[in-house]
Amino acid sequence: MIQLKNINVTFKQKNKKFHAVSDVSLNIKDGEIFGIMGASGAGKSTLIRTINLLQKPTSGEIIINDKNITIYRGESLRRLRHNIGMIFQNFNLAESKTVFDNIAFPLKIAGKSKVEINKRVRELLDLVGLASKSKEYPSKLSGGQKQRVGIARALGNNAKMLLCDEPTSALDIETTASILNILREINEKFKITIIIITHQLEVVKAICNRVAVMNQGRIVEEGLVYNVFTNPKNEYTKKLLKHSSKFELPELLLKSIKGPIIKIKYMGETATEPILSNLSIKFNVTFNILHGKIEYIGDLPFGILYLNIKADKDIFTKVIQYLKDNTYSVEVINHATT
Ligand SMILES: Nc1ncnc2c1ncn2[C@@H]1O[C@H](COP(=O)(O)OP(=O)(O)OP(=O)(O)O)[C@@H](O)[C@H]1O
Ligand SMILES: [Mg+2]
């Protein structure tokens, strides 16, 4: 378990103190994939860098497996860093070294023998699917391949933890998916705890178990990814997620519709039940589907549907009640009558 306790990081900027990270406390469990999202400048990179003490916190403690690592220096810090791999948006590979030598580098630093290094680098190359590229230089690799090298290098000394700072932000959608698959695989296979900073909400939805939202140095919201995405509590989170799914009814359409518009949220199991066909059979009403979408967050469905129902007042009230009983939430948006 990684515990961050009241972490503060301040920088001096033009003789003024700047709080990059303010009083952040977080518990990250062994074996989970934990996401951190937030706007540029929120302090995400600064925060993640405190976990391996690349950035020393101004105050606060980092406890890993009940050991206060904040006080580590020299040899103990070096050993700690073997257990914590890190990958970056721009891969940070040594351009003058081959793929093999890039991956071998931290193993050499750790004092492994040539035989051990050879064996381990081969294993790692297989793991990330780059066995055929071992003699290439980074300039000959695609972005996705470079990140695979980055992952292999980070895991070399059997890291228990992988810190990822925007690992897929420089990659296209398909390559992103393949890197996420590798991350998921190493998480499942080797039980490696993964902390991933990203501004790509899709990445959080695809692989994270829990997520924290950062704004201006502070964690403003934290929880299971499904809960945070379907039911954000904090205003900043709501703003951040507004653009994540095309769940809003287009403004033009909203204006042109006469009569009430019903907005239904489906969650979990209710997202896959035949509520609409039941509705028309039970109440004998007709409706237009104006807009709708179901998406999956992790393995769980979440959906929104906008309906325009023509019915007299009595039936309409019953319909709303039925929907309220059978979906997560119901909202009547435009309450003018036809
Ligand atoms: N070494 C430093 N010295 C002074 N200020 C710094 C230093 N490192 C970061 N900062 C400032 O701290 C703030 C947070 O930076 P940080 O890189 O952690 O943000 P971020 O959330 O990772 O942003 P991005 O999404 O753009 O990577 C920024 O305003 C940045 O200018
Ligand atoms: Mg950053």
Q: Which of 215, 242, 269 is the last residue of a domain?
A: 242
Whose tokens are 């990250």? That residue is 28
Tell which atom from ligand 1 comes closest to the C-alpha of 11.
Answer: 4
- Give the per-residue pLDDT at 126: 96
Per the domain annotation, does 126 fall within a domain? yes
User: How far is the C-alpha of 100 from the C-alpha of 90, rounded, in Å?
Assistant: 19
Per the domain annotation, does 150 fall within a domain? yes
User: Which ligand has the nearest atom to the CA of 165?
Assistant: 2
Residue with the nearest Cα to atom 14 of ligand 1? 43
If one counts the domains in the chain, the total is 2
Helix (H) or strand (E) holding 264: strand 261-267
Residues 212 and 75 in one domain: yes
The CATH number of whichever domain residue 83 belongs to comes to 3.40.50.300
Residues 234 and 257 in one domain: no
Residue with the nearest Cα to atom 16 of ligand 1? 43
Whose tokens are 């977080």? That residue is 26
Residues 230 and 263 in one domain: no
Residue 336 has pLDDT above 60, yes or no: no
Residues 172 and 257 in one domain: no
Residue with the nearest Cα to atom 31 of ligand 1? 41
| Burial profile 1-19: b = 16 or more Cβ within 10 angstroms, e = fewer | ebebbebbbbeeeeeeeee
How far does the centroid of ligand 2 lie from the alpha carbon of residue 34, in Å? Answer: 16
How far does the centroid of ligand 2 lie from the alpha carbon of residue 48, in Å? Answer: 9
**Reading across the β-sheet that carries 59-64, which strands appear in turn?**
16-28, 2-13, 59-64, 67-68
Q: Which of 216, 242, 268 is the last residue of a domain?
A: 242
Residue-number span of the structural domain to which 174 is assigned: 2-242
Q: What is the residue type of 324?
A: K
Residues 56 and 18 in one domain: yes
Residues 214 and 310 in one domain: no
Residue 147: CB partners within 8 Å, gap ≥ 6? 87, 91, 167, 168, 171, 175, 179
Residue with the nearest Cα to atom 8 of ligand 1? 46
Q: Which two tokens stand for residue 34?
A: 């934990």
Per the domain annotation, does 307 fall within a domain? yes
User: How far is the C-alpha of 248 from the C-alpha of 306, rounded, in Å?
Assistant: 9
User: How far is the C-alpha of 185 from the C-alpha of 177, rounded, in Å?
Assistant: 12
221-228 own/partner pairs: CB under 8 Å, 24+ apart: 222/26, 225/35, 225/297, 225/298, 226/297, 226/298, 226/300, 226/302
Residue with the nearest Cα to atom 11 of ligand 1? 20
Per the domain annotation, does 337 fall within a domain? no
* Residue to probe by mutation, ligand 1, list 7, 11, 24, most atoms within 8 Å of CB: 11
Distances in whole angstroms, Cα of residue 78 to Cα of each of 92, 130, 223: 19, 28, 32
Residue 338 has pLDDT above 50, yes or no: no
Mean pLDDT on 196-215: 95
User: Which ligand has the nearest atom to the CA of 39?
Assistant: 1
Residue 15: CB partners within 8 Å, gap ≥ 6? none
The alpha carbon of residue 109 and the mean position of all alpha carbons in its chain are separated, in whole angstroms, by 32
Residues 68 and 204 in one domain: yes
Q: 3-state class of 13 per DSSP?
A: strand
Higher pLDDT, residue 24 or 272: 24
Model confidence at 246, pLDDT cuts 50, 70, 90, reads low
Per the domain annotation, does 78 fall within a domain? yes
Q: Are 174 and 162 in contact (CB under 8 A)?
A: no
Question: Exposure of 84 by Cβ count < 10 A (0-12 exposed, 13-18 middle, 19+ buried)?
Answer: buried
Q: Are 37 and 215 in contact (CB under 8 A)?
A: no
Residues 149 and 260 in one domain: no
Residue 243 has pLDDT above 80, yes or no: no
Residue 312: CB partners within 8 Å, gap ≥ 6? none
DSSP, res 139: G
Residues 307 and 202 in one domain: no
Residues 168 and 209 in one domain: yes
Per the domain annotation, does 145 fall within a domain? yes
Residue with the nearest Cα to atom 30 of ligand 1? 41
What residues are in contact with ligand 1 under a 6 Å CB criterion? 11, 13, 18, 20, 38, 40-46
Instruction: Tell me the per-residue pLDDT of 173-194, one tens digit each, with 9 for 90 and over.
Output: 999 999 999 999 999 999 999 9
Higher pLDDT, residue 294 or 59: 59
Per the domain annotation, does 338 fall within a domain? no
- Give the per-residue pLDDT at 335: 54
Alpha helices in the chain (DSSP H): 44-51, 74-83, 99-109, 114-127, 143-155, 173-190, 201-207, 225-230, 235-242, 251-256, 275-283, 313-326
Residue with the nearest Cα to atom 26 of ligand 1? 40
User: Which ligand has the nearest atom to the CA of 44?
Assistant: 1
Q: Which of 207, 242, 277 is the last residue of a domain?
A: 242
User: How far is the C-alpha of 60 from the C-alpha of 134, rounded, in Å?
Assistant: 42
How far does the centroid of ligand 1 lie from the alpha carbon of residue 93, in Å? Answer: 22
User: Which ligand has the nearest atom to the CA of 42?
Assistant: 1
Instruction: Tell me the per-residue pLDDT of 108-157, one tens digit each, with 9 for 90 and over.
Output: 999 999 999 999 999 999 999 999 999 999 999 999 999 999 999 999 99
How far does the centroid of ligand 1 lie from the alpha carbon of residue 137, in Å? Answer: 31
Per the domain annotation, does 247 fall within a domain? no
* Residue to probe by mutation, ligand 1, list 45, 49, 86, 240, most atoms within 8 Å of CB: 45
How far does the centroid of ligand 2 lie from the alpha carbon of residue 65, in Å? Answer: 26
Residues 152 and 292 in one domain: no
pTM above 0.85, yes or no: yes
How far does the centroid of ligand 1 lie from the alpha carbon of residue 227, in Å? Answer: 28
The CATH number of whichever domain residue 322 belongs to comes to 3.30.70.260
Residues 237 and 310 in one domain: no
